[in-house]
Structure 1
Amino acid sequence: MIIGALLILTWLVLLLRYPAKALPISLSAIFGLGLVALWVVWQDSRETRQLAHLDLRLSYAPDSCPADRPLRVQMKNGNDVPLQTLHWRVAAYAPGDSVNLSENTYSAPRYRGPGDLQPGAEWSDCLPLPPLRSGYRAQSLEFRAEHLQGSFAN
């Protein structure tokens, strides 16, 4: 932090002392930083748009899944590019409530999607339940995927 303050102070001194030389360099540096910022914002909005085209559904299905993995996940890639990686957290809600009833502890399971999901393809699997707060049963809750993070092919 001190180094950053010294750099800014040095830049201001050079700008005041030698404005004819420092001003064009400063403007080109600001222009370059602006281009980098625009590129980062564009990439982030593109990823957000692509994640919005994923159809990810979670349901408690002990009859069609093993006992140790009763959470059924079904996903369809609605993008025009392949999905390469996907990570998410599972949240559990009582019907009509907005309080997350799953405990996101360090020992909670990590949820990952398939390694490579082609455009229009579907994937389903059975996953373990997240740890729930005491007093709640999984069959009475709605499960949702939150905090999706993924990457797509270019």
Structure 2
Amino acid sequence: MLFGVVLAITWLILLLRYPTRALPLSLAALAALATLAGLLLWQDARHNARLESLTITLRHDRQQCPAERPLYISLHNPQAQRLDRLDWQIEAWLPGESINLVQVHYDNPRYSLPQPLPAGQTWQDCLPLPALRRGYRAASLEYRATNLHGVFHNQ
């Protein structure tokens, strides 16, 4: 913190004392910082678009899944790159409602992809249900994957 204050004061003194030399350097440094910030924002938006393009289907399915893991998941990677890692949380909703019915605790489980998912491939599995609020039947709820955090190959 102190170093930043000293640096800012020194820059201001140099700008006031030697404006013909300090102003072009300051503008060049500002342009470099703006370019770097723009590049980082572009990469972040591109990464988020890749995560949003994943097709994740969750449903309560006692036919295909065992009783201790009744939540069926299907994850399709339409990207041209392998999905190396993916973590997510699950939310449950009554159809047409907007209240998350998963009990929110500090230690809510994060689900993750067990192995990398190649480009254009689909992964299917059965997952355990998250802890739901009392009074709701798991079979009558809609499920969504939220808080996606992933890494694509060569990223």
When normalised by structure 1's length, the TM-score is: 0.90
Partner of 2:46: 46
Q: Give the percent of matched residue pairs that are identical in Structure 1 and Structure 2.
A: 47
Partner SS state of residue 109, structure 2:
coil
Question: Does residue 1:64 correspond to 2:60, yes or no?
Answer: no
Q: How far is 1:144 from its partner?
A: 0.4
Partner of 2:37: 37
Q: How far is 1:6 from its partner?
A: 4.0
Structure 2: which amino acid aligns with 1:137? Answer: R
Q: Return 19-28 or 37-46, whichever deviates more.
A: 19-28
Q: How far is 1:93 from its partner?
A: 0.5
Q: Which runs of 5+ in 1 are unaligned?
A: none
Matched residues in 1 for 2:21 and 2:104: separation?
Answer: 54
- Kindly report which structure 2 residues correspond to 1:60-139, keeping only aligned pairs within 5 A, or say none: 60-139=60-139
Partner of 2:19: 19
Q: Which runs of 5+ in 2 are unaligned?
A: none
Q: How far is 1:3 from its partner?
A: 4.5
- 8 Å CA contact 1:109–1:128 kept in 2: the answer is no
Q: Return 64-73 or 78-87, whichever deviates more.
A: 64-73
Q: Return 140-149 or 4-13, whichever deviates more.
A: 4-13
Aligned length: 154
Q: How far is 1:138 from its partner?
A: 0.9
Matched residues in 1 for 2:116 and 2:51: separation?
Answer: 14
Structure 2: which amino acid aligns with 1:124? Answer: Q
